[in-house]
């Protein structure tokens, strides 16, 4: 059973107002020998923005901005920008985040040509209430009762964990998103296609878009997209999070799966055990206990570095041999 080597806490809160409550859940992307690091910064009162730093190597912070790089400007994100992910496609950075207005949490997108100055593209997921979603999604299939369990109390449909694949596949943009309890997949030619009519048709055929569902005990409650997929010769390596409920609350763990390069809807393999579990003090106790929430990666030679929010309070890093992880996955094929 493979587990990542834990390299410790990488980033903590500071006394700066925008990040004086915690830092967590970073978006990461390799840029030469550096790693660009966009992280959720939490101000007291649970108001989030996105901070920025650079790593001179996978585990060394060399520069850190003293103000947010992206912050709330619009009503749909009035209470915070949460849990970013980032990729670069055709020389354009796609940074996704969860926009929170105090009641609704929905996936949003910002783009940049230089990785520093971002243009907000707005919400890119459906804007509808849960009863409408349920009616559409139940038209051609039986919808799991878990969808009602996790979504019925929200004013609108919560659609989070949005992240893009780092290149077009057969000419299309692909992105993952998560309406609890499963991970779903979208394929489009251009962002302009994401209209209300698109989402109505998407939900009418909802079962065709569900990519990952809970399969093992460590993810029995629900799953969610983690870091952007990594292209390997064997398929897209997906680091995601799984959640299971205990008498002490939910436990968040890091998991791994492999998706087909040409058809990401096809799951090739999935590990039957987590690769990252809460064990250290900063993971077991925090603003939220028992949380390892992977959202960023970087590959240097044969080492995969995984960056994750720990205890919803600090950012930690871990590492694993990419070859060993892929070999372990290939020993647990599902297709």
Q: Rounded to 10 degrees, what is the CA torsion of 178, 94, 296, 128?
A: -20
> pLDDT tens for residues 172-218?
999 999 999 999 999 999 999 999 999 999 999 999 999 999 999 99
Residue 333 confidence class, pLDDT cut points 50, 70, 90: very high
Q: Report yes or no on whether pTM surpasses 0.85.
A: yes
Instruction: Please count the residues of the chain.
Output: 335
Cα–Cα dist 18/275, whole Å = 32
Residue 144 confidence class, pLDDT cut points 50, 70, 90: very high
Residue 335 confidence class, pLDDT cut points 50, 70, 90: confident
> pLDDT tens for residues 234-291?
999 999 999 999 988 999 999 999 999 999 999 999 999 999 999 999 999 989 999 9
Comparing CA positions, the residue from 71, 59, 75 lying closest to residue 97 is 71
Cα–Cα dist 128/107, whole Å = 13
Tokens of 145: 């009762």
Instruction: Determine the average pLDDT of the residues in 206-235.
Output: 97
Q: If you ran DSSP here, which 8-state letter would residue 94 be given? A: E
User: Is 86 in contact with 92 (CB distance < 8 Å)?
Assistant: no
């Amino acid at each position: 059973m493979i587990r990542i080597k834990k390299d410790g806490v990488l980033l903590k809160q500071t006394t700066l107002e925008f990040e004086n409550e915690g830092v967590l859940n970073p978006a990461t992307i390799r840029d030469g020998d550096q790693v660009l690091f966009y992280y959720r910064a939490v101000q007291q009162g649970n108001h989030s923005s996105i901070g920025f730093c650079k790593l001179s190597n996978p585990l060394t912070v060399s520069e850190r901005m003293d103000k947010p790089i992206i912050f709330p400007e619009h009503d749909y994100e009035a209470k915070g920008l949460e849990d970013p992910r980032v990729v670069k496609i055709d020389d354009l950075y796609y940074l996704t985040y969860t926009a929170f207005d105090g009641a609704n949490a929905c996936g949003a997108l910002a783009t940049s040509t230089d990785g520093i100055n971002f243009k907000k593209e707005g919400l890119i997921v459906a804007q509808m209430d849960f009863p409408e979603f349920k009616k559409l999604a139940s038209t051609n299939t039986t919808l799991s009762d878990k969808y009602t369990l996790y979504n019925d109390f929200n004013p609108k449909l919560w659609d989070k964990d949005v992240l893009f694949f780092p290149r077009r596949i057969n000419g299309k943009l692909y992105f993952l998103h998560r309406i609890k309890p499963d991970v779903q997949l979208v394929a489009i030619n251009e962002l302009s296609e994401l209209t209300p009519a698109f989402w109505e048709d998407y939900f009418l055929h909802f079962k065709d878009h569900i990519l990952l569902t809970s399969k093992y005990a460590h993810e029995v409650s629900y799953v969610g997209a983690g870091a952007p997929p990594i292209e390997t010769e064997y398929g897209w390596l997906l680091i995601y999070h799984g959640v299971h409920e205990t008498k002490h609350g939910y436990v968040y763990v890091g998991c791994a799966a492999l998706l087909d390069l040409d058809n990401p809807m096809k799951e090739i393999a999935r590990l039957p055990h987590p690769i990252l579990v809460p064990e250290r003090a900063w993971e077991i106790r925090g603003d939220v206990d028992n949380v390892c929430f992977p959202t960023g990666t970087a590959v240097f030679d044969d080492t995969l570095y995984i960056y994750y929010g720990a205890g919803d309070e600090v950012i930690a890093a871990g590492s694993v041999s990419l070859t060993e992880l892929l070999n372990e996955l290939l020993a647990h094929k599902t297709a």
